[in-house]
Structure 1
Amino acid sequence: MSEDQKKLLEAQLWGIANLLRGKISADDYRDYILGFIFYKYLSEKQYLYANELLEGEKITDYIKVTDTETLEAIKEESLLKLGYFLKPKELFSELAKKGNADTESESNYIIEDLQAVMNHIEQSTMGTESEDDFTALFEDLDLTSTKIGRTVGARNEIIVKILNHLDKIDFKLQDVDSDVLGDAYEYLIAKFAAGAGKSAGEFYTPQQVSKILAKIVTSGKKKLKSVYDPTCGSGSLLLRVAKEVEVVDEYYGQELNRTTFNLARMNMILHDVHYRNFDIRQEDTLENPQHLDKRFEAVVANPPFSAHWKSDENPLNSTDERFSQYGKLAPKTKADYAFVTHMVHQLADNGTMATVLPHGVLFRGAAEGVIRRYLIEDRNYLDAVIGLPANIFYGTSIPTCILVFKKCREVDDNVVFIDASGDDHFIKVGNQNELRDCDVEKIVTTYRNREAIDKYSYLASLEEIAENDYNLNIPRYVDTFEEEEPVDINAVMQEIKTLEAKRSELDVEINGYFQELGLSFF
């Protein structure tokens, strides 16, 4: 599919989203639109796979299959291959067709049918390997909610309209070399994040920041055994990592927010990640980690900035191997280093970890200073510090940074500092600052080559960092001061004298006008 066709698909999907704009909140219509797109995707996957199984049979169109034995065989194979099953009458196109029925001759009421289909998708997986990945997946699509219509008829009308518009769009799922729908889905998530204000940070990391993290953790690698995100949001960051290598064997993530957790599972399935290859859990990562027995080759995250956590309120934290070795626990009002040490704990010896954090983690003292010093002095895990521009994240304008950690660093006697926060390293788009592809490429190339570039990057020795008392504030290492051009005092004095002479001439001229009027100027 060409770039123009891809943009057309994105525009078509966003146009459908606009059907609900102004009627309900952005968070709510996001859940409906993304949920219906996901349902259409599942239907088309089921239809294409069933038709593959029917090749050579008397009936080769799945929609026309009525034989119970054939349907049972397709169900068995679908549960193994796809992880779910849809009957012919449950396909998206069939419900859309009913919604378009001539209301004078037959009913176009589909809400109950649609709810039954969504329930059946989940029920079809019960007792199978994919059960955890589909359980309560559609719980945020409340078809009885007055948010989408005050009456049943009004709700049915808007749902029929959305399904009808979606039914006209070809997702081109038969094109195995294209992830067009996945890219369009990501586009929609980004658009919803842009309009969601403060809550956007719960589910989306700006694409260019995701790209930096993904490129860093995949440096020098074509394949990854595993990638992990302990605060995975919609799963976009995990999927971004996959774009930088030929294959990722396993995806792991954890997300606290239930709605966002559902979105992450949908996003994985919609990007054709097989249900056996991802494990996304819904729990508090710091209080109830779900993958502690595993170590990951790549770890990426955009944790909630300076979140509150139970810290010393939970006596187990003082003995938890993720936190106990550092001598101090992260403050209860700033969990940034709790997330950092959790991720370090989960990082494999041959792995790379990259995480976005608020600037305060670079220089704040007390417990955070103790933890930071231990990571550098005792463990020597810190590999890079990258300063980003302010106002590039949805919902907050604060400046942020990327910290990169490795347990086995190739160059273990220095740390790369990069200051990409200057005005030359981003553009303003609306109310947000945005990194360009060239800005991303410069950051990644500088990191990979460990280059020292005047007023942009610096290789700081461990001794130098120790001399700075393990303060990582970037201006201590990257000098971005621009010297002002020297002032020619003689030229300035001459210009002042010239201006004074001109002023005297004007005073004389003005005085003449005043005298003509019988007035005194001086």
Structure 2
Amino acid sequence: MVVALKKSDLYSSLWRSCDELRGGMDASQYKDYILTLLFVKYVTDKAKSDPSSLIDVPAGGSFDDMVALKGDKEIGDKINKIIGRLAEANGLEKVIDLADFNDEEKLGKGKEMQDRLSKLVTIFADLDFRGSRAEGDDLLGDAYEYLMRHFATESGKSKGQFYTPAEVSRVLAKVVGIGAGTRQDHTVYDPTCGSGSLLLKVADEAPRGLTIYGQEKDNATWALAQMNMILHGYEDRDIRKGDTITSPQFTQGARLQTFDFAVANPPFSIKSWSNGLENDYGRFEFGRPPEKNGDYAFLLHILKSLKSNGKAAVILPHGVLFRGHAEANIRKELLRRGYIKGIIGLPANLFYGTGIPACIIVLDKENAQARTGVFMIDASKGFMKDGNKNRLRSQDIHKIVDVFNKQTEIERYSRMVPLHEIADPKNDYNLNIPRYIDSSEPEDIQDLHAHMHGGIPDRDLDALNGYWEAFPSLRATIFKPNRSGYSDLAVGVAEVQQTILDSDEFQKFATGVRGQVDDWFAAHRPVLQALNRDTVPKDLIARIGDDLLARFKSTPLLDEYDVYEQLMTYWHGVMHDDVFLVMNDGWCEAAKPRKTIEDKERKLSETPDLVIGSGRSATKYKMDLIPPALVVARYFADEQSKVDALHAATEEASRAVEEYVEEHVVEDGLLAEAMDDGKISKPLASTRLKVARHEGADAEEIKALQYLVKLYNDEAVARKAAKEAQAALDFATLKKYGDLTEPEIKQLVLDDKWHVEIVTRVAGNVDSLTSALVGRIRHLGERYAQRVSDLRHLTESFERKVAGHLSRMGLESL
């Protein structure tokens, strides 16, 4: 049995299962156990399917040997020995054997440890990583990434620095200059590599691969990095241990080894950076960083580690851009020599070790002396909330990378700042981004003349010029001239929205947007319907996503990155899982219903999509690829209409009961005698009717009870008819899944599911535009609806009314 079929389900189930067994252990410690088991499971699976695997799995050193230990009283000690054999066979001592699986303080004593480890082994035993990367999708790498992110989130402020968020890593990888032209012998270096996630994201940008070097100070994190590299196929990496500043491991005599590329997310503003420093390897030729702040120590180390044409991207706190004294002198020297190519300001609260905002400094030694400016981006406003952290969205990543690599200037977002402006005495080499890019929204100015004399200022309407260019006649439809520089609404405030929606220009615009999405989807439909095991999902989404972005680049009003985000959100939430299923199982197999997973041991329970039967005999089904609603809409529309009508009749019958009861259960009402605790049910009504007849009760009460029983009977008949029709429809729907041909399955998934959903999502962007325009017009209309003179007359009227009331009360003297 597999834990879950869809990737997203697999990851979340894996996390829930692992977290369930964590107990009181801190996540920063627990991750060492989980990731070690994940590693052993992966290399065991790979050795089975790949005889040329560089990792040797010896007898008594495999995950299968761990599975055989389930329920063993000595499971902890024996797991340690299994890992020890695997480590010894591959020279991985002190790498994969750091977690002690026999630690009673962390894992419990006796039966508690036995049960906990047995359950953990069971969780991983159900996963199958054989050939995951050969299928074009890195299942293992994605699972590892998912777990790392969750462990970083749970590890707290001081212990989450082993992981750089994948979204930020992708930005660094794409702006540092690595791409299709990068050779395998090109080198990339991370002097503070943590668990290696940043290096791996950089390596992903090089189609032919490249050579990886890294250094990490913390022993456990260094071990994570070693495992991470092997898990991702980089067995030939060179990750060394030690403090990068005081004991750099990559040296050539008295000099530092140099690399083509470097990326880093160093610890922010570390105070003890110089403790034990003996040899600076010429790193501080532009000045020595302050003793209590190591930000520039890392930046200068990276600069010195670059070849003469080398490039780097480094994450640092904003303080490096504007702090004075020693740091100001270093910054000045770097700028004068042209080493700083660009600066990207990021949103606050992206990182796990700190909530402060950071920036990316891009260094480039190539043609540095000819550099005449620094390209700056203020990307601080582009993010989404994710729990207690912020995350870059797909559109934020793409926009940053596009704008930086093309050096595109966008108002309030990006700008090429000339060096002479930075060097000007008023700036004095201060690189604080707000000095050069004002990202604040224009102030919404109140117009006193309009408040005095009425009318909406044309200046405010001119600010909506993008709308008037897209809909040329709309402004004249909604507004009419008042006097020079001012206009009035030509329609009521409440009619603005419908006036816009009814305009031919708006309808043409909305239809055109849909047409653009239709054309885009049609262009890529052949590729999508040809999905197979050789498909590479990240290449597929990159290709179709970039094309969607390009098609909407010239569309007025719509931000092409907003449109792109609609696709990417759907991709991450649904479409990627669908592609994964089709790649692994084929269209027909992936479309088959399966029974839901009910695993009490792991507390896993899936919500069914379709239930056939009722009670204990009910069979629950999950339709991973094609939701039942799509099958019903295409093949059983008439039957669904009849079911809907029966459900509506049931609701109407229930409403008739409620209304009749509510009318007659009042005190002294005709049904008051039949109430029990303020309620009256069908059994109570039937019982009371018998008693009333026997006692010769009031004829009106008997008549009321008879009618109520009839209403209850009508409701029961309606409910039964609806239930039977729904059951018949559900059964027919389930049967239809077995009759679907591959072309029909593709039509349901490609056209009815993916295409329709993406069109709907992009149409939502158009709706948002409309709402924004309507909201602004209403706001302006209401703001200047009453002149000061109108308010004065109204005030005088109120004053006269109050005086009249006081007079009638004999209080004139007050």
TM-score for both structures, normalised by structure 2: 0.55
- 1:85 pairs, out of 46, 53, 57, with 57
Q: Report the counterpart of residue 268 of structure 2 in structure 1.
A: 305
- 2:88 pairs, out of 102, 115, 123, with 123
Asked if residue 357 in structure 1 is aligned to residue 358 in structure 2, the reply is: no
Q: Summarize the Cα distance change of 1:314–1:261 in structure 2 as closer, same or farther, 3 Å threshold.
A: closer
- 2:362 pairs, out of 361, 384, 404, with 404
Indicate if the aligned counterparts of 2:246 and 2:276 stay in contact, CA closer than 8 A: no
Alpha-carbon distance in 1 for matches of 2:438, 2:132: 53
Alpha-carbon distance in 1 for matches of 2:43, 2:812: 91
Q: Report the counterpart of residue 440 of structure 1 in structure 2.
A: 397
Indicate if the aligned counterparts of 2:375 and 2:414 stay in contact, CA closer than 8 A: yes
User: What 5-or-longer segments of structure 2 have no aligned partner?
Assistant: 454-786
Q: Report the counterpart of residue 434 of structure 2 in structure 1.
A: 475
Q: Report the counterpart of residue 343 of structure 2 in structure 1.
A: 385
SS at match of 1:16: helix
SS at match of 2:158: helix
- 1:450 pairs, out of 407, 412, 428, with 407
Alpha-carbon distance in 1 for matches of 2:49, 2:375: 50
What is the identity, as a one-letter code, of the residue corresponding to 1:309?
S
Indicate if the aligned counterparts of 1:85 and 1:124 stay in contact, CA closer than 8 A: yes
Compute the displacement of 1:312 (Å).
8.6
Q: Summarize the Cα distance change of 1:150–1:95 in structure 2 as closer, same or farther, 3 Å threshold.
A: closer
Q: CA RMSD in A?
A: 2.4
Greater gyration radius: 2
Q: Report the counterpart of residue 500 of structure 1 in structure 2.
A: 792
Asked if residue 27 in structure 1 is aligned to residue 319 in structure 2, the reply is: no
Asked if residue 252 in structure 1 is aligned to residue 213 in structure 2, the reply is: yes
Compute the displacement of 1:486 (Å).
4.5
SS at match of 2:333: helix
Q: Report the counterpart of residue 155 of structure 2 in structure 1.
A: 196
Matches within 5 A, 1:405-420: 405-409=363-367, 412-420=371-379
Compute the displacement of 1:218 (Å).
3.2
Indicate if the aligned counterparts of 1:99 and 1:109 stay in contact, CA closer than 8 A: no
Q: Summarize the Cα distance change of 1:373–1:174 in structure 2 as closer, same or farther, 3 Å threshold.
A: closer
What is the identity, as a one-letter code, of the residue corresponding to 1:82?
L
Alpha-carbon distance in 1 for matches of 2:422, 2:797: 63
Listed one character per residue, the Cα deviations across residues 162-197 of structure 1 (whole Å, up to 9, x for unaligned) are 101210122233652332101110111011111222
SS at match of 2:210: strand
- 2:226 pairs, out of 230, 247, 265, with 265
Asked if residue 15 in structure 1 is aligned to residue 24 in structure 2, the reply is: no
User: 160-169 or 7-16, which moves further after superposition?
Assistant: 7-16
Q: Summarize the Cα distance change of 1:521–1:287 in structure 2 as closer, same or farther, 3 Å threshold.
A: farther
Asked if residue 211 in structure 1 is aligned to residue 170 in structure 2, the reply is: yes
Alpha-carbon distance in 1 for matches of 2:441, 2:123: 55
Q: Summarize the Cα distance change of 1:201–1:404 in structure 2 as closer, same or farther, 3 Å threshold.
A: farther
Alpha-carbon distance in 2 for matches of 1:192, 1:209: 17
- 1:143 pairs, out of 97, 101, 109, with 101
Q: Summarize the Cα distance change of 1:235–1:313 in structure 2 as closer, same or farther, 3 Å threshold.
A: closer
Listed one character per residue, the Cα deviations across residues 82-105 of structure 1 (whole Å, up to 9, x for unaligned) are 244321x432123213315xxxxx
Asked if residue 280 in structure 1 is aligned to residue 239 in structure 2, the reply is: yes
Listed one character per residue, the Cα deviations across residues 135-154 of structure 1 (whole Å, up to 9, x for unaligned) are 21234321222344431221
Q: Summarize the Cα distance change of 1:309–1:84 in structure 2 as closer, same or farther, 3 Å threshold.
A: farther
Alpha-carbon distance in 1 for matches of 2:308, 2:63: 46
Q: Report the counterpart of residue 73 of structure 1 in structure 2.
A: none
Alpha-carbon distance in 2 for matches of 1:390, 1:205: 14
What is the identity, as a one-letter code, of the residue corresponding to 1:91?
S
SS at match of 1:124: helix
Listed one character per residue, the Cα deviations across residues 49-103 of structure 1 (whole Å, up to 9, x for unaligned) are 4xx4xxxxxxxxxxxxxxxxxxxxxxxxx7xx4244321x432123213315xxx
What is the identity, as a one-letter code, of the residue corresponding to 1:395?
G
Alignment: residue pair count? 468
Compute the displacement of 1:470 (Å).
1.3
Indicate if the aligned counterparts of 1:311 and 1:329 stay in contact, CA closer than 8 A: no
Asked if residue 237 in structure 1 is aligned to residue 198 in structure 2, the reply is: yes
Q: Summarize the Cα distance change of 1:519–1:260 in structure 2 as closer, same or farther, 3 Å threshold.
A: farther
Indicate if the aligned counterparts of 1:204 and 1:236 stay in contact, CA closer than 8 A: yes
Alpha-carbon distance in 2 for matches of 1:4, 1:144: 33
Indicate if the aligned counterparts of 1:219 and 1:448 stay in contact, CA closer than 8 A: no
Alpha-carbon distance in 1 for matches of 2:434, 2:69: 64
Compute the displacement of 1:220 (Å).
5.0
SS at match of 2:111: helix
Indicate if the aligned counterparts of 1:511 and 1:521 stay in contact, CA closer than 8 A: no
Alpha-carbon distance in 2 for matches of 1:201, 1:86: 34
Alpha-carbon distance in 1 for matches of 2:328, 2:395: 34
SS at match of 2:157: helix
Q: Report the counterpart of residue 188 of structure 2 in structure 1.
A: 227
What is the identity, as a one-letter code, of the residue corresponding to 1:248?
G
Alpha-carbon distance in 1 for matches of 2:377, 2:262: 20
What is the identity, as a one-letter code, of the residue corresponding to 1:138?
I
What is the identity, as a one-letter code, of the residue corresponding to 1:507?
E
Indicate if the aligned counterparts of 2:165 and 2:351 stay in contact, CA closer than 8 A: yes
- 2:75 pairs, out of 110, 134, 140, with 110
Indicate if the aligned counterparts of 2:385 and 2:391 stay in contact, CA closer than 8 A: yes
Q: Summarize the Cα distance change of 1:518–1:461 in structure 2 as closer, same or farther, 3 Å threshold.
A: same
Alpha-carbon distance in 2 for matches of 1:464, 1:483: 24
- 2:123 pairs, out of 162, 165, 168, with 165
Indicate if the aligned counterparts of 2:346 and 2:359 stay in contact, CA closer than 8 A: yes
Q: Report the counterpart of residue 98 of structure 1 in structure 2.
A: 69
Listed one character per residue, the Cα deviations across residues 218-250 of structure 1 (whole Å, up to 9, x for unaligned) are 345432411110000110000001111113331
Listed one character per residue, the Cα deviations across residues 230-277 of structure 1 (whole Å, up to 9, x for unaligned) are 000110000001111113331111111111111111111111112xx2
Indicate if the aligned counterparts of 1:255 and 1:283 stay in contact, CA closer than 8 A: yes
Compute the displacement of 1:282 (Å).
1.4
Q: Summarize the Cα distance change of 1:332–1:483 in structure 2 as closer, same or farther, 3 Å threshold.
A: same
Compute the displacement of 1:44 (Å).
1.5
SS at match of 2:20: coil
Compute the displacement of 1:22 (Å).
4.2
Compute the displacement of 1:428 (Å).
2.4
User: What 5-or-longer segments of structure 1 have no aligned partner?
Assistant: 53-77, 101-106, 126-130
Q: Report the counterpart of residue 56 of structure 1 in structure 2.
A: none
Indicate if the aligned counterparts of 1:233 and 1:264 stay in contact, CA closer than 8 A: yes
Indicate if the aligned counterparts of 1:336 and 1:361 stay in contact, CA closer than 8 A: yes
Compute the displacement of 1:109 (Å).
4.1
Alpha-carbon distance in 1 for matches of 2:38, 2:278: 45
User: 487-496 or 8-17, which moves further after superposition?
Assistant: 487-496
User: 203-212 or 229-238, which moves further after superposition?
Assistant: 203-212
Q: Kindly, what percent of the aligned residue pairs are identical?
A: 39
Indicate if the aligned counterparts of 1:144 and 1:152 stay in contact, CA closer than 8 A: no
What is the identity, as a one-letter code, of the residue corresponding to 2:788?
I
Listed one character per residue, the Cα deviations across residues 336-378 of structure 1 (whole Å, up to 9, x for unaligned) are 111011001111223210001000100111111111111121x
Compute the displacement of 1:401 (Å).
0.7
SS at match of 2:101: coil
Indicate if the aligned counterparts of 2:343 and 2:374 stay in contact, CA closer than 8 A: yes
What is the identity, as a one-letter code, of the residue corresponding to 2:417?
A
